[in-house]
């Protein structure tokens, strides 16, 4: 064991960790703030020391060998443990930080959490970068284990286990349509509500049933859902230029002058939004600063 360790220095192991996360020499070099030739040379040294090609050319960048896949998690955990062991209680200075945070978010959480926080984040930590990744709940835990994400946002219902979590806020649904919609001058009756032409957001694609429909079914009625879209982004513009209406989270439409917002004629269950993160970054001072920053802004 000691002989194998003598063949490698810590810098090579850090480079290997970045390569296994990025599957790309150029992106790994950017992550490490090194030149691409330097990382290529280090990859060659790693291949020689470990007796394995580690990364092979693939259709989308480079693909890890079986040996590299076996090394990925133990190496990431070992480097994190070493970093924590030597970091101690060193204070985090956001003004001097050079960090890339990888955050999984939907278009809803982009609009209600990340976008409102962006200005203050850039002002306080100008040297940091934010990579927003597509939200895919079934893969969250695996991505966290592989070091491919630092933070995610998910509603409390069906939140994936195995991640730390912090409640950010609760939101509820309101009825929205264009600002001069003739049927939204006041709260509609249940019959009027059901007769309106509704748009529904179906993240899985193509669905025509949501929380509102479950609430209506309890009263033995149905609404007229004429369109299903996969994302919240674009719905406001769609409503503003038509007679369509939608049940949307209040935080998403609050203060939009192009929309009329009224209460629905029946109660519809809202949701609680959580912030999720992996154990490996829980005690990291920079990550803790980011979490506290987002919690404070979300509370506003």
Prediction pTM value: 0.71
Cβ atoms of 167 and 156 closer than 8 Å: yes
Give the separation between CA 21 and CA 23, rounded to whole angstroms: 6
Q: Which of 38, 57, 87 is the last residue of a domain?
A: 87
In a domain, residue 71? The reply is yes
Does a structural domain hold residue 65?
yes
Residue 216: closest CA among 153, 266, 166, 250: 266
**Residues 187, 164 share a domain:** no
Q: Tens of pLDDT along the chain (300 residues)? A: 445 556 677 889 999 998 988 888 998 898 888 899 999 999 999 998 888 999 998 877 789 999 999 998 888 888 877 877 776 656 889 999 999 999 999 999 999 999 999 999 999 999 999 999 988 888 888 888 788 899 999 999 988 888 999 999 999 999 999 999 999 999 999 999 999 999 999 987 789 999 999 999 999 999 999 999 999 999 999 999 999 999 999 999 999 999 999 999 999 999 999 999 998 889 888 999 999 999 998 887
Q: What does the pLDDT read at residue 1?
A: 42
Domain co-membership, 286 together with 258: no
For residue 184, tell me if it sits in a domain.
yes
Helix (H, G, I), strand (E, B), or coil: what is residue 21? helix
Whether residue 279 is found in the same domain as residue 259: no
Residue 202 DSSP SS3: coil
pLDDT recorded at residue 300: 77
DSSP class per residue in 118-133: HHHHHHH-TT-EEEEE
Structural domain boundaries enclosing 219: 173-268
Q: Are residues 202 and 178 in the same domain?
A: yes
73 and 28 in one domain? Answer: yes
**28: domain CATH number?**
1.10.10.10
Same domain membership, residue 71 and residue 52:
yes
Q: What is the number of structural domains in the chain?
A: 3
* 3-state SS, residue 266: coil
Q: Residue 142 CA to chain centroid, in angstroms?
A: 14
- 208/61 same-domain check: no
Beta-ladder partners of 101: 130
pLDDT score of 2: 46
7 and 75 both lie in a single domain: yes
Task: Quote the pLDDT of residue 225.
Answer: 97
């Amino acid at each position: 064991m000691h002989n194998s360790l003598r063949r490698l220095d810590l810098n090579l192991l850090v480079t290997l960790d970045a390569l296994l996360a990025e599957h790309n020499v150029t992106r790994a070099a950017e992550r490490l703030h090194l030149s691409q030739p330097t990382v290529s040379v280090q990859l060659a040294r790693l291949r020689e020391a470990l007796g394995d090609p580690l990364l092979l050319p693939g259709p989308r960048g480079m693909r890890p060998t079986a040996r590299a896949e076996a090394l990925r998690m133990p190496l990431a955990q070992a480097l994190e443990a070493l970093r924590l062991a030597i970091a101690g209680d060193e204070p985090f200075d956001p003004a001097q930080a050079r960090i890339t945070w990888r955050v999984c978010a939907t278009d809803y959480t982009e609009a209600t959490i990340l976008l409102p926080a962006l200005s203050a984040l850039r002002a306080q930590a100008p040297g940091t970068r934010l990579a927003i990744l597509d939200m895919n709940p079934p893969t969250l835990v695996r991505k966290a284990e592989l070091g491919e994400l630092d933070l995610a946002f998910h509603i409390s219902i069906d939140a994936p286990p195995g991640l730390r979590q912090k409640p950010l806020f609760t939101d509820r649904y309101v009825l929205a349509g264009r600002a001069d919609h003739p049927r939204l001058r006041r709260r509609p009756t249940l019959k009027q509500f059901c007769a309106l032409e509704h748009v529904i957001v179906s993240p899985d694609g193509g669905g025509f049933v949501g929380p509102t429909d479950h609430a209506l079914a309890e009263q033995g009625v149905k609404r007229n859902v004429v369109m299903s879209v996969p994302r919240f982004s674009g719905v406001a513009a769609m409503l503003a230029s038509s007679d369509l209406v939608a049940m949307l989270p209040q935080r998403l439409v609050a203060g939009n002058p192009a929309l009329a917002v009224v209460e629905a004629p029946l109660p519809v269950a809202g949701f609680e939004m959580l912030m999720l993160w992996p154990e490996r970054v829980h005690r990291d001072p920079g990550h803790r600063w980011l979490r506290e920053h987002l919690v404070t802004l979300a509370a506003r």
